[in-house]
Chain A
Amino acid sequence: MAALIHDITRTQVEDFLYEEAALLDEWRLQEWLDLLTEDATYEVPSTDTPDGDARTTLFIIADNIERIRSRVHQLLGKSAWAENPPSRTRRLISNVRIREVEGDTIRVTANFAVYRMRFELVDTYVGRYEYTLVFRNGVLKIRQRRAILDLEALRPHGKVSIIL
């Protein structure tokens, strides 16, 4: 890994995102939490307001770090029925682009297709990620993570019960 944020290459960012995707697909959610900063946010805007602000617009998910930790705790527990038994997921991440580097933060966008398989049905979530990553002690961490769906509605998916 580079010593300075300005030396980070796209390949390093891709490796980071692929590693994150693997942790999520393998349900290693506690380890996934370690990728987040203490002030991290995770958002999924409503499908008709992809550029909304969660303070003024109704979202699907707008978690602060406490809410993210609670979500993970629930998903790993028994009573998140929509994920008990857990679904299988497979994330394809591509078109990774470094959009801006400023101070210790780096803004990254990427495209995603997340397949969720459960009870012999497949739901495909398609969209783009907007990440704000920070570079701390030679390690990348996620400060903001927004999954913006290209779907016009959550149909026939009906829910976002996994971490997109």
Chain B
Amino acid sequence: MEQAALDNLVLDNREAGLFRVHRSAFTEPRIMALEQRRVFEQCWLYAGHTSEIPQPGDFRSRRVAGRPVILVHGSDGVIRVLLNTCTHRGAQVCRESCGNAKTFQCFYHAWTFNNQGELVGVPGEDAYSAAFDRAALGLASPPRVEIYRDFIFISFNPDIEGLVDYLAGAKEYLDLVCDQSEAGMEIVTGTQAYSMRANWKLLVENSMDGYHARTTHQRYFEFLVETGVDASIMRRRRGGVGKSLGNGHAVIQSEPAFGRPIARWTPSFGEEKRGELEAIYQQMVERFGAEWAYQMTQTSRNLLIFPNLIINDIMAITVRTFFPVAPDYIEINAWALAPKDESAENRALRLDNFLTFLGPGGFATPDDVEALESCQQGFANREVEWSDISRGMKRAQPLVDDELQMRAFWRQWHALMRGSQRAAVPVHQAVAD
């Protein structure tokens, strides 16, 4: 694409307080092709969680950035990410979605790899010359793999900074999630595998959009009132802020109207739960101090780790990632994250609370899908060229229902798409508009 066209995809006028995104960013196949190279292949990408493969030999296969990969816990105890393609002629060596295996054998010619990726079996190996180097033909890995607090990330950019540096200000918000259990957090069995006939960046925006809640999710708030939540709580302005966290990461955080299974009681949990949750809150205060415990248990947060990992720690915790298949179609996988050591009763309560709002059968997500698909349909009107993301731009501290967090995403996206070196943006520079 022409540089001028790329330069003009985002209009960011800080002086006037106007921010606009050209709608071709959501519709143009050439932009999607460029995103693959300049965004998805340049950044750290979430691939999975160590709790999904707890035992040696455990594996899960999935697609990340269009690549079929295998997350595998080797017999040597090391967690690896392997590219799921036989080094011989290309077939996928793992064709199960999950399981436990010592080896992966390609069904095409029976080359066999152990669960550490090494090539350990080649039928008729004596037919190969001396130059044939079996040791070099193990299953490949992405150039970079790092794990932060059980979250496994990969990068196809060999020169990217370390994961912790990349996470910048988002690390603290990930810690607020991971600190919720001394035993660690785990992905609950069961994947919400769904899709949207919409551009992936619409879901980025929507996943941390405090402005749409009252309208798009009106029925959820009516449901909350049915369950005994005081309606006046929802009419009060709940405070809350939107923040840019550096490197395109962003968060919105507020005190919610709903309950949080970690330690924020709500009537639907039942009176008998009240004391228990207050006691957990007190334990957190003792362990972490009042401020961190308050943030962790009493506030909810919608966190974006650029470009496409959403961790929404709201009425439950969902980990959501998605990749474009076409400019107007994405595949989404979402999971529930929970404390490993929570009681069976509290786990059931958490999952129940999750489903009130989240997921393709919840009382909210279907309406988000509807809204984003409706936006995508609307973009067919090419005469209307711009989407507006200016809300709260002149406020010193943008609020939870402003759009600073989206601008943070778009600014990073735009810098990458224009071909800037993916230089880290210092957090202190990234915070303001």
Contact = CB atoms under 8 A, between A and B. Distances in A.
A56 B189 contact: yes
A82 interface: yes
Given A58-B354, A70-B223, A82-B370, A158 B361 contact: no
Contact of B193 (A66, A71, A154, A161): A154
Given A55-B347, A59-B351, A82-B369, A157 B189 contact: no
Contact of A57 (B188, B216, B361, B370): B188
Contacts, number: 126
A61 B200 CA distance: 24
Interface in B177-201: 188-197
Residues of A in contact with B, size category: 35 or more
A58 B335 contact: yes
A48 B191 contact: yes
A105 B79 CA distance: 49
Contacts of B219: 74, 77, 79-80
A122 to B, nearest CB: 13
Contacts of B222: 74, 79
A52 B190 contact: yes
B360 interface: yes
B429 interface: no
A57 B194 contact: no
A67 B353 CA distance: 11
A59 B362 CA distance: 10
A55 B195 contact: no
A101 interface: no
B280 interface: no
B367 A70 contact: no
Interface of B: 97, 188-197, 216, 218-219, 222-223, 226, 329, 331, 335-336, 344, 347-348, 351-352, 354-356, 359-361, 363, 365-367, 369-371, 373, 377
A-B interface, 6 closest residue pairs, ranked by CB to CB distance from nearest:
A58-B190, A153-B193, A61-B361, A82-B366, A60-B361, A55-B348
